[in-house]
Amino acid sequence: MHFICERSVLNEALHILQNVVGTNTTLPILSNILVEVSDKKELTLTATNLEVGIQFKLDVEVKDQGTCTLPGRKLFEMTKEMAGEKIEIEVSSDYIGIIKSGNAVFRLMGLSSDEYPRLPRLDKVHTAKLTASVLRDLLKKTAYAISSDEARYVLNGVYFIVAKGDVVVVATDGRRLAMVKKKTEIDPNLDAGIILPAKTVNELMRILHGDIEVEILFSETQVGFKLANMLMISRLIEGKFPNYDQVIPKKTKESVVIQKEEFQNIIRRVSLINTGKSNLVKFRFNDGSLTLTASNPDVGEAKDDMSIEYKGDDFVIAFNPVYLLDALKILDDEQINFEFSESTAPGVLKSGDDFTYVIMPMKLR
């Protein structure tokens, strides 16, 4: 196998592939990347950890076709540090790769490709298209609420729904729920609901940028994301996602418009007094103001307030400030709506017409 290509193009692909290179000690070959050169002037690079697989197809100058596997992270590090515009890779029959660029030459030990797992084929596929920036925004506004509790495995990802031309993405860990809804031009007859694993969501958020079109390929147990010269295929989480609609309060007694940045800053300041054992902040709404207080018997106390347009009764509720900050820091709107009813009922944070965040209160003490 022997080919020449643009070093920057190869390195860009390897930068993404090395994030999914496996560390499975029972299958050492998963730490390698599958390298295939065809007689069609095309290089195919594949990496998988058996949960997520990514494949790139690159245009190259083919000297000799063939296939092998090379250590993924080392290959990325080498191509990153080399200085030449072009890179030349030649692999011998005993899978030793000679990598040249500029004045640098590396000798890299590879393995046969015979035992490397191929990406699964997607059968009975339904498709939908979104721009990369829209898909990334949907995931960014929900991913932080994914549960890490493996006992509740259906919550270890985001629920991704396509119905009536809308896309709805939901995540919850049982203490808060994030939901975002987007009207799209997707075929209104397409009806699909899948649970995307957290690893897949994180990889997508790393990869997706700009207004490039992403084709989403839905099948029964897998999902694919195709953009430009890249294909990602992921396993789905099997099971039934909880009825998220039941968690969202249909009515609340009060709704307050709050300046997002000031609200975010005051929460961050007051929560500085908290430690791991004490992570509660009280929110007191009274005529024209919102006062935040926190106390820690080992550290001290904190208090701060801000002006708001509120004319209701004096009201106190407590939340974990980390959960509120997680949502606030990913929102772009200058103002948010904060809704509440009782100190023991969930609070609801809304931004625009598409984002809803439900957060369970903490017990007042």
pLDDT digits (tens, 9 = 90+) for 263-293: 999 999 999 999 876 789 999 999 999 999 9
In a domain? residue 119: no
* pLDDT attached to residue 27: 86
Segment 107-114 shows an average pLDDT of: 96
Q: Rounded to whole angstroms, how far apart are CA atoms 53 and 231? A: 8
116 part of a folded domain: no
Q: Do 81 and 21 reside in the same domain of the chain? A: yes
Whether residue 11 sits in one domain with residue 86? yes
- Amino acid present at 362: M
Domain CATH number, residue 270: 3.10.150.10
User: Helices 260-270 and 321-328 sit at what angle, rounded to 10 degrees?
Assistant: 150
- Measure the CA–CA gap between 123 and 36, rounded to whole angstroms: 24
Same domain, 257 and 221: no
pLDDT confidence of residue 48: 94
pLDDT of 349 > 90? The answer is yes
As for how many domains the chain has, the answer is 3
Residue 124's pLDDT is 78
Residue 364: inside a domain, yes or no?
A: no
Over residues 282-310, mean pLDDT: 94
First to last CA, the chain: 70
Residue 209 falls inside a structural domain: yes
Per-residue pLDDT tens over the stretch 29-56: 999 999 999 878 899 999 999 999 999 9
pTM score, whole prediction: 0.92
Question: How many whole angstroms separate alpha carbon 203 and alpha carbon 206?
Answer: 5
- pLDDT recorded at residue 127: 93
Tokens of 69: 């596997």
Q: DSSP state, 143?
A: G
Q: Judge if 44 and 63 occupy the same domain.
A: yes
CA angle 349/354/357 to nearest 5° reads 25
In terms of C-beta distances under 8 Å and separation of at least 24 residues, what long-range contacts does 348-356 make, across chains too?
Answer: 348/248, 348/249, 348/252, 349/324, 351/260, 354/180, 354/181, 354/182, 355/141, 355/178, 355/179, 355/180, 355/331, 356/178, 356/179, 356/180, 356/248
| Residue 171 CB partners (closer than 8 Å, separation 6+) | 142, 143, 144, 145, 146, 147, 155, 157, 158, 159, 177, 178
Residue 315 bridge partners (DSSP): 285
Q: Provide CB contacts within 8 A for 305, sequence distance 6+.
A: 266, 289, 290, 291, 292
- pLDDT recorded at residue 22: 73
For residues 258 and 231, membership in a common domain is answered with: no
User: Domain range spanning residue 151?
Assistant: 126-245
Looking at residue 365, its pLDDT comes to 75
Both 234 and 303 in one domain: the answer is no
Q: What is the pLDDT of residue 25?
A: 63
Rounded percentage of the chain residues whose pLDDT exceeds 90 = 88
pLDDT at 122: 87
Question: What integer pLDDT is reported at residue 277 of this predicted model?
Answer: 64
In whole numbers, what is the pLDDT of the chain averaged over residues? 94
Q: How far is CA 112 from CA 72, 94, 242, in A?
A: 14, 8, 45
What pLDDT is attached to residue 185? 87
Whether residues 99 and 130 share a domain: the answer is no
Rounded Cα distance between 278 and 133, Å, is 38
Asked if residue 224 lies in contact with residue 231, where contact means CB atoms within 8 angstroms, the answer is: yes
- For residue 162, what are the β-bridge partners? 167, 192
Distance CA 364, CA 341 (A): 15
DSSP state of 341: S
Asked if residue 337 has pLDDT above 80, the reply is yes
pLDDT tens, residue by residue, 119-173: 998 887 899 999 999 999 999 999 999 999 999 999 999 999 999 999 999 999 9
CB 32 within 8 A of CB 18: no
Three-class secondary structure of residue 154 per DSSP? helix
Residue 24 pLDDT level (bands cut at 50, 70, 90): low
118 belongs to a structural domain: no
pLDDT of residue 227: 94
Report if residue 343 sits inside a domain: yes
Among the residue ranges 119-123, 207-211, 319-323, 350-354, the one predicted with the least confidence is 119-123
Residues 132 and 223 in one domain: yes
Q: What single DSSP character describes residue 279?
A: -
| The two structure tokens encoding residue 120 | 């699964």
Q: Are residues 241 and 254 in the same domain?
A: no
Instruction: Quote the pLDDT of residue 39.
Output: 79
Q: Are 4 and 88 in contact (CB under 8 A)?
A: yes
β pairing state of 2-6 and 52-59: unpaired
Boundary of a domain, candidates 109, 138, 165: 109
pLDDT at 69 over 90: yes
CB atoms within 10 A of CB 104: 13
Residue 292 and residue 322 in one domain: yes
Residue 114 has pLDDT above 90, yes or no: yes
